[in-house]
Amino acid sequence: MRKRFFIFVIFAAGASLLFSQEQSTTGSKKALDAFINATTKGKNAVAQVEPVPGATVMIELLPGPKGPCTTRNDGVFGVNFSKLDEVQGKDSRDIKLRFTIQPKNRSAYVAGRYVFDFVLPKSQGPYYEFRLKFKRADKNSNKGEFIIERNLNVKAPPKQGPKQGKGSAVKTGDSYQGEVRHF
């Protein structure tokens, strides 16, 4: 009887130690997992904003002509009006534009909106520069929204555009042609 009692006490003590150790390990593991999930979700929750290179932006005067423009690697594109006073009437103080975005790789930029309307004051022209960005829902997602920011510090088109290789079809005077739409 004593022998059985002694074995039972040792078994109970061992089981007690085993379960208490397992609970403390499980509890600390749960706390560590909760910390990792919270920090990881916090980092993923921060929206990633990045420029959209090589996107075709269809620029349309409302009402009036339209034409394409391609964004640079930093997402910059521009609009230049050679006869600013004649754009949408001499009495108008504003220019109404519509931008339609067509990304180079549409599957990498999934957004709910691809068309944006802008009203620009003629007094700040004839050159207007913009930057196309994409704000991702999280860093691993291809879903988000496009953002078009206007650069108010630039008043004239760039003097030098991208360097052209030998045999380039771009005219010397329009070396920035792929980034600026002329009207």
**Same domain as 140, residue 157:** yes
Out of 42-46, 123-127, 158-162, 171-175, least confident range:
171-175
Q: Does residue 75 lie within any of the structural domains?
A: yes
**Same domain as 94, residue 19:** no
**159 vs 42, 50, 117, 150, 163, CA distance in Å?**
43, 26, 28, 19, 12
Pairing label, strands 110-111, 143-151 = parallel
CA distance 170 to 8: 92
**Same domain as 178, residue 97:** yes
pLDDT per residue as tens digits for the range 96-154: 999 999 998 888 888 888 999 989 888 887 888 999 999 988 878 888 999 999 888 87
pTM of the predicted protein model = 0.62
pLDDT per residue as tens digits for the range 69-109: 999 989 999 988 888 777 777 788 888 999 999 998 888 88
pLDDT value of residue 4: 73
CA distance 61 to 98: 7
Is the distance from CB of 179 to CB of 69 less than 8 angstroms? yes
Q: Does residue 66 lie within any of the structural domains?
A: yes
